[in-house]
Amino acid sequence: MSLLGVLNNYNRGNYKLNPVVVQEEDYNVYYGGISNGLLWPALHNLPEYIVVDYDSPKVDKHLI
């Protein structure tokens, strides 16, 4: 089933889902930096793996 088919199927019920289009570069910065470097270790009780010094203005832009 396509993404639009899934959305249409869910939207028949009590849900209203809308896709959010994200640029590939923004997704990669989020996933590779914020998600894997901050959220995953923090939410899995692994604070020693949290990346606290991002050396990328792209990541800084997303954190502000």
Q: pTM for this one?
A: 0.50
**CA angle (24, 62, 50) in 5-degree steps:** 100
Q: What pLDDT score does 44 carry?
A: 95
Q: What pLDDT score does 59 carry?
A: 59
Encode pLDDT of 19-64 as tens digits.
788 889 888 888 887 888 889 999 999 999 888 776 666 655 655 5
CA distance 27 to 42: 20
Domain boundaries, the chain: 22-64
What residue spans of 1-64 are helical by DSSP H? 3-11, 24-29, 40-43, 57-63
What number is the average pLDDT over the span 5-18?
78
Q: What pLDDT score does 45 carry?
A: 94
CA-to-CA dists, residue 21 to 14, 24, 46, 50, angstroms? 23, 9, 31, 28
